[in-house]
Amino acid sequence: MFPGKAQLEGTSRQGLVDSPRIVGSNGREEVIEGVVEDVLFRSDDGRFTVIRLASNGEGPGADRQTAVGDLGQIAPGENVRLVGRWTQHAVYGPRFRVTSFTPTIPSTEQGMMRYLGSGLIPGIGPALATRLVEQFGQDTLNVIATQSARLREVPGIGRQRAQSIAEAVRQRRVEAETMSFLHALGMGPATARDIVRKYGADAPHIVRDDPYIVAEQIRGIGFRTADRIAEALGIAGDDIRRVQGGVLHLVGKAVDEGHVFATRQQLHDGLEQLDVPSDALDEALLQLRARDLIVVEDEAVYPPPLYRAERLVADALAELANRPKMKQPVKTHDENLSDTQRSAVAASLETHLLVLTGGPGTGKTTTVRAIVQAHEALERRVALCAPTGRAAKRLSEAAGVEAKTIHRLLEWNPATGRFNRDQRMPIDAELILVDEASMLDIRLASQLLAAIPPSSTVVLVGDVDQLPPVGPGQPLRDLIASKICPTVRLHEVFRQAQESAIVRGAHAVLQGNMPDPTPTGTRGEGDLFLISANDPDTVIDRLVQVLKRMSVAYGFDPLADVQVMTPMRRGPLGTHKLNEVLQDVFNPEKQDTATPMAFRRGDKVMQLRNDYDKDVYNGDLGEVKQIEGGITYVVFDGREVQYKADDLDAISLAYACTIHKVQGSEFPAAVIVLHNAHFVLLNRALLYTALTRAKKLVVMVGDPKAMARAARNALSYETNSRLLGRLHALA
């Protein structure tokens, strides 16, 4: 059920009500209003708060009521309107569990005194609040908001103080009215706060005008939610805004699935599945194009940033490939290099663009070190980088030269919201070597290539047999397929590497075969084991046992040294379930509280998206060091990053991660969980990527049939991209 138009139009007035009472009940959800007397408890992650509310209601507790839930940074003295249900706690008695809340503005003189004197309005304490209300009575808040000069009639208030008080009251009033409007549309506290944070006082107007655009700009609001909002606002099902919203949703969904664009046919079919009029597709595309929200190229419909990125990548790669060849002698040679490795070193000195690829044990690391030494011998400036922090650290150790993440190499500037390094100020290097280049998506590749200086050499090192990038596009694969630049493939597995069952197993998987594990029961030898279990609960039990045994038998820290991997986030053996179990086993709750806590001190966590301002990026692993005052402190590679309550959706527990999320990372040991519950995702690239994440030990836990299926399934990850065609056209 959605509120009718009359209810919506009345929301802003409801936000100005002060009387503390139970407003009504339908037998399920109730609404109570009152003043926050005290914050009894706030969880360290800020997502659970217990308050005492002064209310004249009829519910349990009468004039003093306890409310619990996600109440943000609610403070004593605030007037609030709470929506929720009464529950009975075995220890704490009746509690009102809040599903949404709205700050409200008081209308009675007593309420105004309490509100103004609560500390919420800077510059006003209890004494001054009393003098203000005595001076202006029930008009106090209106006088403050609309006639701030009159505040100087009260002794102790000057011009600057009056302006500051007026601005604070106006801001609180706008927030109350906006939150009330958004909650009336069924939005939860976190989503409503995100909307207010982005649009401010304009939020109601923007949401009314086009909820579908809001859905594309605010995380947590999908097309179906936008549909419900639109219905509540009276927007018809065949409204062109709804068709445009469907198109944007489908283009965004395609990008989330790794595509650079969506085709017209995909959009047509997708609109029909959404029950959106597909016969209005052309009109929707015309209007979205006119608003610069999409780029249409024949049958391809791009998000504008990805269209520009694809064009830039094509132009930059073609320019590098077409530059005249250099001819520089190799001044140093490692006598242990194979002929193919030597050819790679020579090629890096003769061309401006080179791809070096190969599987585990084929000598990529040795070749990279030789390339770097050859360029340094010619006194060429060298810059090494990789998409992830772990990959950059590994590259530094292998090459003997400092390597940075691509984001740090490009020098993000929070003040400008851009990278310092671009066409205007390129990277100061003559050799730029990128490891784990198979992880480059079209966006990151464009940002890097935009900063390549004239006449420099770019060497891309990667393994295209791994999973494709998490983001849209597959630039490395397209570049290799285009054949516009030399590609050196390392095939020979060196003798020392052949002794590793992990390396042998990875190459077996590439041939469609199951890895040949070390026999169970072998002690002190072997580095690849298989623990068979079919029932999901048994798999979890075996997983916990394996982690404990790895600690005892091999000395591995189950958290710092071992990474658990699984294909999916959801399901009986997804990351959500495994993280819940492993957190309780390896980092049990230290304090006895009756409240849920998402994170605990000592938790292993992962950053889920790029945050340039915090300088942490998708896939970075860290540890929660402390949680205090609503702030969660996480250490990434020795650097502390702070997360407020509203930022916590950017990190997740990482005792177990999806295999996609650990691309570019390498760990001393890994446990791979595979089961028929993962049926739709089981494929060769997935298993190969998982196996090659560990240096010393891999244990596969689960159903051998699922593992065999993964090895046999040579699924090709095809993505909508025109990069290959553009490269051919520019060659």
Instruction: State residue 524's pLDDT score.
Output: 53
More reliable by pLDDT, 8 or 590:
590
240 close to 212: Cβ distance less than 8 angstroms: no
Instruction: State residue 243's pLDDT score.
Output: 96
Q: Each residue of 240-272: pLDDT tens digit?
A: 999 999 999 999 999 999 999 999 999 999 999
Question: What count of Cα atoms within 13 Å lies in the side-chain half-sphere of residue 60?
Answer: 14
Instruction: State residue 508's pLDDT score.
Output: 94
Q: Which of 698, 705, 690, 704 is nearest to 529 (CA)?
A: 698
Question: What count of Cα atoms within 13 Å lies in the side-chain half-sphere of residue 17?
Answer: 20
Q: Each residue of 489-503: pLDDT tens digit?
A: 998 888 677 888 999
Residue the block writes with tokens 């075995």: 90
For residue 431, the SS3 value is strand
Span 533-548, average pLDDT: 95
Instruction: State residue 521's pLDDT score.
Output: 56
Is 225's pLDDT higher than 70? yes
Q: How does residue 20 score in pLDDT terms, banded at 50, 70 and 90?
A: very low
User: What is the bridge-based pairing of β-strands 353-358 and 295-297?
Assistant: unpaired
For residue 714, the SS3 value is coil
Q: Which of 47, 90, 87, 38 is nearest to 69 (CA)?
A: 47
Q: Each residue of 554-613: pLDDT tens digit?
A: 899 999 999 999 999 999 999 999 999 999 999 987 544 444 447 899 999 999 988 888
Instruction: State residue 386's pLDDT score.
Output: 95
Q: How does residue 36 score in pLDDT terms, banded at 50, 70 and 90?
A: confident
Q: Each residue of 418-460: pLDDT tens digit?
A: 899 999 999 999 999 999 999 999 999 999 999 999 889 999 9
Instruction: State residue 382's pLDDT score.
Output: 97
702 close to 514: Cβ distance less than 8 angstroms: no
Q: How does residue 195 score in pLDDT terms, banded at 50, 70 and 90?
A: confident
Is 654's pLDDT higher than 90? yes
For 74, residues 6+ apart whose C-beta sits below 8 A from its C-beta are: 36, 39, 49, 51, 80, 101, 103
For residue 206, the SS3 value is helix
- Quote the CA–CA distance of 439 and 436 in Å, as a whole number: 6
* H-run or E-run covering 173: helix 159-184
3-state secondary structure 58-93: CCCCCCEEEEEECCCCCCCCCEEEEEEEEEEECCCE
Q: How does residue 679 score in pLDDT terms, banded at 50, 70 and 90?
A: confident
Instruction: State residue 522's pLDDT score.
Output: 54
Instruction: State residue 499's pLDDT score.
Output: 84
Q: How far is CA 367 from CA 52, 146, 317, 694, 715, in A?
A: 66, 72, 22, 20, 30
566 close to 656: Cβ distance less than 8 angstroms: yes
Instruction: State residue 90's pLDDT score.
Output: 80
Instruction: State residue 176's pLDDT score.
Output: 78
For 323, residues 6+ apart whose C-beta sits below 8 A from its C-beta are: 352, 455
- Quote the CA–CA distance of 467 and 665 in Å, as a whole number: 13
Span 151-160, average pLDDT: 89
In whole numbers, what is the pLDDT of the chain averaged over residues? 87
Report the percent of the chain where pLDDT is more than 90: 56
Instruction: State residue 7's pLDDT score.
Output: 31
Q: How does residue 520 score in pLDDT terms, banded at 50, 70 and 90?
A: low
For 381, residues 6+ apart whose C-beta sits below 8 A from its C-beta are: 428, 429, 430, 431
Q: Which of 446, 377, 372, 443 is nearest to 403 (CA)?
A: 372
Q: How does residue 124 score in pLDDT terms, banded at 50, 70 and 90?
A: confident
Span 682-694, average pLDDT: 94
What is the number of helices (H) and of strands (E) in the chain? 27, 27
- Quote the CA–CA distance of 695 and 497 in Å, as a whole number: 11
Report the percent of the chain where pLDDT is more than 70: 92
For 414, list phi and psi in degrees, rounded to 5.
-60, -30
Is 674's pLDDT higher than 60? yes
Q: How does residue 467 score in pLDDT terms, banded at 50, 70 and 90?
A: very high
Q: Each residue of 269-309: pLDDT tens digit?
A: 999 999 999 999 999 999 999 999 999 999 999 999 999 99
Is 11's pLDDT higher than 60? no
Is 15's pLDDT higher than 50? no
Span 636-658, average pLDDT: 90
Q: Each residue of 315-372: pLDDT tens digit?
A: 999 999 999 887 777 776 677 899 999 999 999 999 999 999 999 999 999 999 999 9
